[in-house]
Structure 1
Amino acid sequence: MNKAIYIATSESNSGKSIITLGLMSMLIGRTAKVGYFRPIVEDFEDGKLDNHIETVISYFGLDIRFEDAFAITKSQLIKKKNKGKIGDVLDLIIEKFKHLEERFDFVLVEGTSFSGEGTAIELDMNVLIAKNLGIPAIIVGSGVDKTLEEFLDSEYLAYDSFKNKEVEVLAFIANKIQPENLKLAEDGLRSVLPKEVLVSAIPAISSLDNPTVKEIVEELDAKVLFGKDYINNEVGSFSVGAMQLRNYLLHLKENALVITPGDRADIILGALQANESVNYPTVSGIVLTGNILPEDSILKLIEGLDSVVPIISVDGGTYRITNKIGSIKSKIYAENKHKIETSISTFEKYVDLDDLSNKLSAFEADGMTPKMFQYNLVKRAKQHRKHIVLPEGDDDRIIIATSRLLAMDVVDISVIGN
């Protein structure tokens, strides 16, 4: 029997990607063929791919086309819901999931990320999808900016939402917990959850939350002047180079992003030299504000250097640009192998892989939802196509039924009547 798991959360920035990557790595090591599916994805521009799907497919080398790895975008979902057509959405999700289930021994299903429009309905949709697919769930909760009581209350509410709809919760993973509070979080969850639910706690990993220069370039629509080979450098801190160089150097921290107007040649050259010096922290990149470029002589000097960190130019004042950089939420993407590998190693360190694997193997679905029953019925009808004759062709009910059956393309129909 084919198997699957649904990774869900009830909030944004829960770090669900760590769980997805870690679990996918575990499954590939223990299962012959593993598939990946996102029922609902964020809207993406033409020519671009959903970041989650692209990262998982490319890193693990999965034999799945992008268009087969998701069912519907968030905006399409909202339009369907407003028209009262959630049933159509579920039909589509079940159909696409079943196609993957037929090809793979195990399918990892990743729920929504609670970002952008439509977050109010996301928890209910995740529960509804998991129920109709007939698969168990792993819930991921974040400990950021919560007291222990607030954390336990919110996560039990998420657990209860799944259980009330008869979706089995196999594991609960507390993520982004302060290292000194790991045991506190685990013990707290065990005190409110049934003992059969596997509980794990993963600490906050600062490097996973740090944006890369590439993300900053995309967010600011910046132009890369130098250092494209190091565009995936992670930014551990950032500061404005407004004071004199001798004073600014004292404020540099590890993996520093230097923000300065483009005409501050002293700060630019000083930062580059500090990056080469063993006596100063590493510089991850330099942001030149105000759409001002250094003079030609300075540019020529930089061009002659053997190795240069990314230097990017942006249109905007230093104050506004600094605030925008501070608000960037980092994501894990396909080219950033370091973050992917950190995610996998963190998951393997803090989650009992054997216990989780045993729970996944032992799970058996109990019963079948009407939507899944309908899908199986339609599938059998298509495999054994029949020709049926319907009388009373002037009856509206017969006309509606005929229209639906023809749209589903499951039978050949003859209607008797005027």
Structure 2
Amino acid sequence: MTAPEDPAARRVFLAATGQNRGKTTASLGLIAGIMRTGHRLGFLKPVGQRYLVVDGTRADEDAVLVREVFDLPDALNDMSPVTLPRHFTTDFIMGRITDDLAGQVEHAFLRIAAGKDLVVIEGTGHAGVGAVVGISNASVAALLASKVIIVSEGGVGRPIDEIVLNASLFEQHGVEVLGALVNKVEMDSHADLPEILRRGLAQHGIELIGCIPYSELLANPSLELIVTHLEGELLAGEATPGQTVGHVAIGAMQADHAMKILRERTLLITPGDREDMILASLAARGHPVMGLILTGGFHPSGAVLRRLRDASLFTYLVETDTYTTAQAANAILVKTHPTDTDKIATIIELVDGAIDTNALLDRL
């Protein structure tokens, strides 16, 4: 197949300093901001490591997410041209896979970019990821003649070190780094952090494009993920997709003391035989408790269970103790899904406040 002519569409490549730094968060927010300006936009995930199969097409989960959230018309196999199933890298190294992966990425980009004003390209992991199969993020950005934004997460020393390291590899490939976007920044407790990061990065010739504030809502799982990742029994309520936990609390103190620490959309983890805690949760003013995880395998009494079911309060029984359960809930890898409407709205709002979209567009 012959590729079409290289289109005039501008392009920006969102890279990261590692996994789970907030690259997808940045993509969603940036895409929303660009689309509000009226630009015709395309999205490309050149290399996918976490993929889904949709209507027989294997596609990276971020491509599926962006296509659904923004109702993009492009084919999934163009939005996600290369995915890496298990053993792919070994087979590639051993010569059992000889596909022209760079060619696949380039042709997919050209199809995506046709008729568009701008294409957002989302990388995978740090700048070197993909080098094992000949298509690192840095080499793909060079191949597609794209400028790069590097996404890292909050802190001082680590994000600056990681950003500088990744920028050096992009620069070795002749790729212009527009700057850095730092995610999960604790603005409330460290109001001076953006200025510290700006100065620290400037010492290495890198611009701070913006800081995305930390949000507990974005860091926490949905009730659906709780049920998916923790082995247990749903006693009451539903694990409705899109219901994201706002705050996780452990009910290990007296019930009246515990009620004072509840905030909106609290998931309360407490032993199943703490019926005082369960009843207090049901009665709490403003209904801040969105769900209960009952630990230790202790079933509440029939009367209490009936009240939970009458209230349709999410109640999930697990066999593990409270400490182990809290650790397991905290370890859940939180990814954004199309049904997470509250979370997506929050992402768009936070990124919009962190990035001057028009100023960024002027630099592309």
Specify the TM-score bucket, using the shorter chain as the normaliser: 0.7 to 0.9
CA distance in 1, matches of 2:279, 2:51: 39
Gaps of 5+ in 2: 1-7
The C-alpha deviation readout for 1:137-186, integer Å capped at 9, x for no partner, is: 11112234x43xx4323211211110111112223222223322111111
**3-state DSSP class of the match of 1:330?**
coil
Is residue 326 of structure 2 the alignment partner of residue 322 of structure 1?
yes
Structure 1 counterpart of 2:30: 23
Equivalent in the alignment of 1:102: 114
* 2:226 aligned partner, one-letter code: I
Match 1:220 to one of 230, 237, 252: 230
Deviation at 1:357, TM superposition (A): 0.9
**Mean CA deviation greater in 94-103 or 244-253:** 244-253
Aligned residue number for residue 210 of structure 2: 200
Instruction: Please state how far the C-alpha of 1:13 moved relative to its aligned partner.
Output: 2.4
**8 Å CA contact retained: 2:102, 2:134:** no
The answer for the alignment partner of 2:85 in structure 1 is: 75
SS at match of 2:46: strand
**SS at the partner of 2:27?**
helix
The answer on whether the counterparts of 1:233 and 1:285 sit within 8 Å (CA) in structure 2 is no
Tell me how far 1:223 sits from its aligned partner.
4.4
- Tell which deviates more after alignment, 343-352 or 234-243: 234-243
Corresponding residue for residue 14 of structure 2? 7
Give the residue type in structure 2 aligned to 1:321. T
1:190·1:199 contact (CA, 8 Å) conserved in 2? no
Deviation per residue, 1:328-372 (Å, 9 max, x gap): 232222111222122212222121222101112xxxxxxxxxxxx
Match of 1:354 among 334, 338, 358: 358
User: Aligned pair 1:283/2:252, yes or no?
Assistant: no
8 Å contact kept, 1:22–1:347? yes
- 2:177 aligns to what? 169
Q: 1:153 to 1:266 in 2, by over 3 A?
A: closer
Matches within 5 A, 1:4-403: 4-44=11-51, 50-75=60-85, 77-83=88-94, 88-102=100-114, 104-113=116-125, 125-144=136-155, 146-147=156-157, 150-179=158-187, 180=191, 181-193=193-205, 199-228=209-238, 232-274=242-284, 277-278=285-286, 282-305=288-311, 308-360=312-364
Change in CA separation of 1:256 and 1:11 when aligned onto 2, cut-off 3 Å: same
Alignment root-mean-square deviation, CA = 3.1
Amino acid at match of 1:338: D
SS in 2 for 1:55: helix
* Contact 1:2-1:105 at 8 Å conserved across structures: yes
1:182/1:202 contact within 8 Å kept: no
Count of aligned residue pairs for this structure pair: 346
Contact 2:11 2:118 in 1 (8 A): yes
1:34 positional shift:
1.3
Alignment partner, residue 389 of structure 1: none
Structure number with the higher helix fraction is: 1
The 3 A distance-change label for structure 1 pair 243 and 185 is closer
TM-aligned CA distance change 1:122 to 1:29, over 3 Å = farther
Q: Is the 8 A contact 1:38 1:70 kept in 2?
A: yes
SS at match of 1:130: helix
Q: Give the TM-score taking structure 1 as reference length.
A: 0.73
One-letter identity of the residue aligned with 1:53 = A
- In structure 2, C-alpha distance between the alignment counterparts of 1:122 and 1:224, rounded to whole Å: 44
Task: Report which of the two structures shows the higher radius of gyration computed on alpha carbons.
Answer: 1
Q: Which moved more, 1:16-25 or 1:234-243?
A: 234-243
The CA distance in 2 between the partners of 1:334 and 1:295, in whole Å, is: 37
**Residues 47, 123 of structure 2: 8 Å contact kept:** yes
Question: CA contact under 8 A between 2:292 and 2:315: conserved in structure 1?
Answer: yes
CA distance in 1, matches of 2:109, 2:260: 56
Cα distance per residue 1:111-155 (max 9 Å; x no partner): 1146xxx789699711011111222211112234x43xx432321
Q: 2: distance between equivalents of 1:347 and 1:57?
A: 19
- In the aligned structure 2, how far is the partner of 1:344 from the partner of 1:123? 34
The 2-side partners of 1:168 and 1:236 are apart by: 38
Query: Percent sequence identity over matched residues?
Result: 27
Q: For 1:224 and 1:123, how far apart are their aligned partners in 2?
A: 46
Q: For 2:232 and 2:73, how far apart are their aligned partners in 1?
A: 34
